[in-house]
Each structure stands twice: as structure tokens, then as C-alpha cells.
Amino acid sequence: MRSIIQLLALFLLFSSCQNSTDSQAFQSFVDQNGPQVDLWITNGQVFSGLQAPLENIDLLIKDGTIVYKGWVDSSLLQPAQIIDAAGAVVSPGFIDPHAHGNPMRTPEFDNFLAMGVTTIFLGQDGSSPSNDPLSQWMDKVDSLALGVNIATFVGHGSLRRISGVNFDSVPSAEGMQKMEQLLESGLKDGAYGMSMGLEYNPGSFAQTDELNRLARVVGQYDGLITSHVRNEDDDALEASIKELIQQAEFCPVNVSHMKSVYGKGSKRAEELLQLLHTPANYRITADVYPYTASFTGIGIVFPDWAKGPNNYEQVKKQRRRELLDFLRAKVMARNGPEATLLGTGDYRGKTLAQLSKEQNRPFEEILLDIGPRGASGAYFVMDEALQNRLIRDSLVMICSDGSPTMNHPRGYGSFSKIIEEMVVRDSLLTLPEAIYKMSVQTARVYGLTDRGGLSVGKKADIVIFQPEEVKAKAAFSSPHTLSEGFHYVVVNGETTIDKGVRTNAQNGTVLRKSY
């Protein structure tokens, strides 16, 4: 009995000392900073930035920055706004490492805010704004009322187009030098690295020497290469990832929206992940979205010889039979015409199988008429077990690869789906693991030094939610339905979603990497 009493006394003594220490810390904060703050978040379970248990602590925000974290004496505080987060999780705002969209057209980016995303990275898949210098585009975007923070990459395909290299397999000395100069200029302007789209033209024409030379430039500015690799088909994927790993000698590299088309099962995922984990001293990561259908231009099923710089109309006339045979074989290899759902153009919302039945002709003839640039679509070509295993890996972050206008639910549901299904429903990730993958990890990999965690000095990008209430409402039949369940979303200290309702706040900014 004596030992129990002694333990209780020690506990009470420790608690008293802790309360005294907390009180002194807060008093010191008030003495130095005064009692006024813009926002006080209280009673929530705070994810501080590590894969660790949540903490019941308070946050104080002033001038867009977290200025205090810990115990608060309300009698000494004068907040402009109070958020009572009782029963909810307080998390860093989610960061989308691979997003799309045109801020000139949709600066509010409500689709991202509704699923807790406060920062997005644009300039993906080798395509970025054609402005030279890139700072012109950044300045113009920064003058808009943005809903989210925006960072960008320099697109490798855009470098080829702006420099005049275009479809040359081997750039001239002048062309190569121009690409290097343009890349360096974009990095100096604040781009976070270079994106590649080696499955698309003109990036598909690039060879190893060109890619390595550009990677050296990225490395000199402490940037990152993120790449839609050359071929995502399962039988070519390993070679495509190994090609990217060559650039890891010069700078960190990331596999964009990692997937295996036709691949099956978690065992296959383990084999692919081994490629990321094996190279010593290289920084290699990947991002994945939680859907088994991709979305891109219909040109993905056309042969290279039917796409630019070749004249499609001539190809259609001169090699018609060969092209029809290729299209049929390609679509059948991608799970058949039922697995291709057109998302743009006159046939939006219909599969190739439906169109074939309606028009009473082979689907490949319909594709022939559409052409490689005539539509975009969703392609149900991935295996859930394989993709889920990729998501759980320590080197993998969460992305959406979505936009406000894309006819695919991933742009409206990816981050919510991770919480709703992988955390709450299936327990494939713990909540701290999921939050880490959607915020802190991405900030560290991409070089966002002032965001991604909830510590003093970080920018106040914050989401507050109860995991059981988060719902990804978007579907392929209704891809533009906003997610639900995020009670509050704070961007740079300003509340943009308040009790689940979008406010008029547009407090995002363009993020520029400092070198």
C-alpha cells in the first residue's frame, strides 16, 4: 500500500511541476509577444509532425505563422478567433506533390481545399508554363486571390519546346545549352526542380545524356526531379524506373503517380518497391493516388508513329490497317474497351464498349476517328492490392494527379479517400502514418522548409477533422463532387473552411524555393 501511495505522490508532484513549467512558458510568451493573437486552436488532438501519438495541446497563430504551441491560460489571451477542436484531429494542411490545374481559370481550387489540401505542386509530367522567365508566370499567379498555396516545377517537355529542340532525339549543342539555361533560370526563379513526362511527346525523344545533363543542373540548385516514367506497363516498368534512378546520381528523384499497368498483387509491388530501396546513398521516392483507374489523353493507346511530329492524317491514310490492328491490340491489352471511359469530347461519360455497341462498329474505328489528340479518358488498368501495397511503403507519398476540371474523381477525393478507406474502414494505415504521408513527408522530400508540420515558426496551414466523418463523395459518374468532413481548413493563418462551410478567404500564395 505504501508503494502505491508513494507512486501517487510522485505523480501529483510531477503534474504540479509540469503545470508550473507550462504556466511559466505561456507567461513568458505573453510577456514577450503580448496577449493578442489572430487564432487560437484549443482542445484538439494535434499531430505535431512525426509518426507518433497525437497530443492534446493548443496552437496560437499570428500573422500567418504558428507562434506558440502548448498549454494556454485563457485569462491572459486576447484571440481574434477561437476554434474549439474538441473531439477532432488538428493536422498540418495536406500537400499534393502532383496536381494539375490552371490558376488563371480556377484560382480558388475548392476541390483541393475540401479534401484538406492547402498546397499543390503544378508544372507536372514535363509540362510547365511557357513563360521565359518563369517568374513572369509566378508573379501573375501571385497577384490572384488563390485558395491554396502553389509551387511549380520546370517541365522537361516545355524546355524542349521553348528551346526549339522539340522532337530531336539528340539536341544540338546550342539546343542543349539553351535547355540548361532555361532550366537554371526557372530554378533561380523559385521552381522546386524539373518534371518529366517521358511517355509523352516531346519528352519521349530524350536520351540518357540529355537527361543526366539536366539532372546535374537540378542538383546544383538542390532541386528534385519528379517523373512520369517512360513506360508504366508492367513489363517495361522496371526498366523505366531504373532509367530515372540514373538521374539520382545528381539529384533526388521521384516516381510520379507510381503504378503498374497490368501488374497484379502485393508481391509484384514488393519487387517494384525494392528498386526504390536498393540504391545506396540515393534519394528516391514515389507518390501514388488511391484509385485503380488512370486518366490521360487518348494518345496513350496510339503508337508513336501516329503522333507528332508525324502527320496523323497521312498516317491514317497510308497505314490505316496497321493502325487499326495496333489500336485493337493495345486496348485489349489494357483490359478491353470496357476499361476505357472517355472523359472529354462528344463521347464524354461513355466507354469504348458502349460506343462500339451504339454505333455498331469496332471500337478501333471509333478511336481512329477521334485521333491521338481528340479526347482524354479514364483507364481501369491497375490492381488494388498492388497499388495499396505501394501506398503503405515508407518511401511513398500521397498525391491526387487531379485538377478542378478533370473528369476523374481523384482530383476531388484522393486525400479524403485515404482517410475514409485506408485509415477508418480498412486499417491499412494508422492515422499518424496517413497524415505524415500527406503532409510532413512531402514537405521534407520537396523542400518546403516552412510548412508540413505544426511547430512554432511554421506557416499556419492547418486542417481540423474527425476521421470518421471524412467522405470522398466524388465518383466516376459525378467526378466534381466535393469531399466532406473537414470542419476547418486554415491557409496561411486564415480560415478558408469554417465549420464545413467555405468562407470568402483566398489566402494562398506562390511558393518559391530559396537556394
Q: By C-alpha distance, which of 212, 96, 158 is closest to 463?
A: 96
Q: How far is CA 250 from CA 106, 189, 216, 223, 246, in A?
A: 36, 20, 5, 10, 8
Q: How far is CA 203 from CA 46, 155, 227, 298, in A?
A: 43, 9, 11, 17
Q: Are 215 and 250 in contact (CB under 8 A)?
A: yes
Catalogue the E-assigned strands of 272-339: 284-288, 293-297
pLDDT of 50 over the 80 cut: no
Q: What is the pLDDT of residues 238-273, one digit of tens each?
A: 999 999 999 999 999 999 999 999 999 999 999 999
Q: How far, in Å, CA of 232 to CA of 199, rounded?
A: 8
pLDDT of 19 over the 90 cut: no
Rounded average pLDDT over 70-85: 96
Higher confidence at residue 24 or residue 272?
272
Strands 78-84 and 193-197: unpaired
Residue with cell 484538406: 116
Strands 65-70 and 45-46: unpaired
Give me the residues paired with residue 55 across strands: 46
Rounded average pLDDT over 59-71: 97
Strands 193-197 and 154-155: parallel
Q: How far, in Å, CA of 352 to CA of 336, rounded?
A: 9
Q: Which three cell numbers stand for residue 209?
A: 545524356
Please state which architecture CATH assigns to domain 2-91: Roll (2.30)
Q: Which three cell numbers stand for residue 39?
A: 487564432
317 contacts: CB under 8 Å, gap ≥ 6: none
Q: How far is CA 262 from CA 237, 271, 305, 388, 425, in A?
A: 10, 15, 23, 15, 26
The least confident of 17-21, 102-106, 296-300 is 17-21
Instruction: Work out the pLDDT band at 3, boundaries 50, 70, 90.
Output: low
Instruction: Work out the pLDDT band at 17, boundaries 50, 70, 90.
Output: very low
Q: Tell me the CA end-to-end span of the chain in Å, nearest whole number.
A: 63
Higher confidence at residue 509 or residue 51?
509
Instruction: Work out the pLDDT band at 470, boundaries 50, 70, 90.
Output: very high
Structure confidence at residue 4 (pLDDT): 54
pLDDT of 302 over the 80 cut: yes
Structure confidence at residue 477 (pLDDT): 87
pLDDT of 279 over the 60 cut: yes
Instruction: Work out the pLDDT band at 422, boundaries 50, 70, 90.
Output: very high
Rounded average pLDDT over 429-457: 96
Q: How far, in Å, CA of 469 to CA of 59, rounded?
A: 23
Q: By C-alpha distance, which of 232, 349, 234, 227 is closest to 287?
A: 227
pLDDT of 397 over the 80 cut: yes
Q: Is the pTM of this model over 0.85?
A: yes
Sketch the domain layout of the chain as residue ranges. Answer: 2-91, 93-292+382-502, 296-380
Q: Are 126 and 200 in contact (CB under 8 A)?
A: yes
493 contacts: CB under 8 Å, gap ≥ 6: 38, 39, 61, 62, 63, 64, 65, 459, 460, 507
CATH class (in words) of the domain with range 93-292+382-502: alpha beta
Rounded average pLDDT over 431-441: 96
Rounded average pLDDT over 168-184: 98
The chain-wide mean pLDDT, for the chain, equals: 94
